[in-house]
Amino acid sequence: MARESSFNKKSRAVLLVVLGLFSIGQLFPLVWLIDFSLCKSGDVYGANILKIPNPPQFINYYLAWRDGKIPQYFINSVIVNVTSVLLVVLFSLMMGYAFVRMEWKWSNKVLTYVLLGLMIPIHATLLPNFVIFRQLKMLDSYFALIIPYVAFSLPQAVFLMTGFIGSIPRALEESAIIDGCGIFRILFQIILPLSKPAIVTVTVTTFLNTWNEFIMAATYLTSDKFRTLPFSVYNFAGQYASNYAVQFAVMTIVALPSLIVYIALNEQVTKGVTLGAVKG
């Protein structure tokens, strides 16, 4: 018994060491980013992995905010991402309920078709979407980003939502039907409040996927009027020289909303993924 207890303690210690190293590896890029955002631009070429800023160059953040057009790009990012998240949550909730609760002929085949979207790489759709948007005169507009962001986020959101809705007892809906509720009242007054963990998970994952997205934004947007936050980094990159310290400051500012959202809703995200996985 004592030998088994000693073995468990050693296993626990090894596990803590492994998790500690993994945590350091995950957090180091963020520490590195913040560190060099407070250094001079030439410090990035030094031999040290990290460098103590002496003195801290807070002016990098002022230049990032002023010359990187961050306020203008931030508003565009908020418009695109909030709209995309709301549409993904609404569509995934309705589709999840239709696939899990409603009986119709092509339910399983349509669900399989929707989930195939998980395997489609973004790069394969850039040129076809560009041609379609150009013909529809939708290039350089908010819709040029919102439509593909919703399309690429829906498969994962539907996967999470179907797993969670399947865990809700049918008795609640049957009681509502007896009381005279229609399908939309059941969906929005019963299923929607009960699906809060799944909705939070879909909201956070969609936000994280779209907030820092750059490839589609660089392909479909051409004017400052609609550009999103990742373009701020470009304003400090030139053909022969770049201000790396200010670029690091821009990337730190761009990453902050994602970090705040994830830290604030981390518990709900874990709960939503776990409940969906158990049912699946």
The 10s digit of each residue's pLDDT in 140-169 is 999 999 999 999 999 999 998 998 888 888
Domain assignment present for 216: yes
DSSP string, 167-206: TS-HHHHHHHHHTT--HHHHIIIIIHHHTHHHHHHHHHHH
Mean pLDDT of 220-225: 88
Give the number of domains in the chain. 2
Q: Which residue has the tokens 């392909």?
A: 219
240 part of a folded domain? yes
Rounded Cα gap, residues 113 and 99, in angstroms:
12
The answer on 168 and 85 residing in a single domain is yes
| Residue pLDDT, tens place only, 47-90 | 777 778 878 888 888 888 888 888 888 999 999 999 999 999 99
Whether residue 132 is found in the same domain as residue 180: yes
SS3 159: helix
Same domain, 87 and 153: yes
* 274 — pLDDT class (breaks 50, 70, 90): low
- Do 45 and 123 lie in a common domain? no
115, 41: one domain: no
Structural domain contains residue 4: no
Mean per-residue pLDDT, 232-246: 71
Is 239 a residue whose pLDDT tops 80? no
- In this model, does residue 278 exceed pLDDT 60? no
**Residue reference for tokens 């090894």:** 14
Q: Are 165 and 269 in the same domain?
A: yes
Per-residue confidence (pLDDT) for residue 38, from 0 to 100: 87
- Give the residue, 165 or 244, on which the prediction is more confident: 165
Residues 18, 106 within the same domain = no
* Residue that wins the pLDDT comparison between 157 and 246: 157
pLDDT for 273 equals 63
Name which residue leads in pLDDT, 182 or 239.
182
What does the pLDDT read at residue 238? 64
Say what the alpha-carbon torsion angle 138, 143, 147, 152 is, to the nearest 10 degrees: 110
Examine the pLDDT at 2 and tell me if it is beyond 70.
no
Q: What is the mean pLDDT of residues 183-198?
A: 87
240 HSE (CA, 13 A, CB side): 0
| 8 Å CB contact between 271 and 49 | no
More confident residue, 239 or 95: 95
Answer yes or no: pTM beyond 0.75.
yes
Whole-number pLDDT of residue 277: 53
Instruction: Give the mean pLDDT of the chain.
Output: 85
pLDDT recorded at residue 58: 87
Q: Which two tokens stand for residue 223?
A: 């004017």
What pLDDT is attached to residue 260? Answer: 86
Q: Which CATH number covers residue 142?
A: 1.10.3720.10
Q: Which residues of 35-73 are buried (b: 16+ CB within 10 A; e: fewer)?
A: bbbbbbbebeeeeeeebebeeebeebbebbbeebbbeeb
Shared-domain flag, residues 40 and 164 = no
pLDDT for the residue numbered 280:
44
* Domain span including residue 224: 60-278
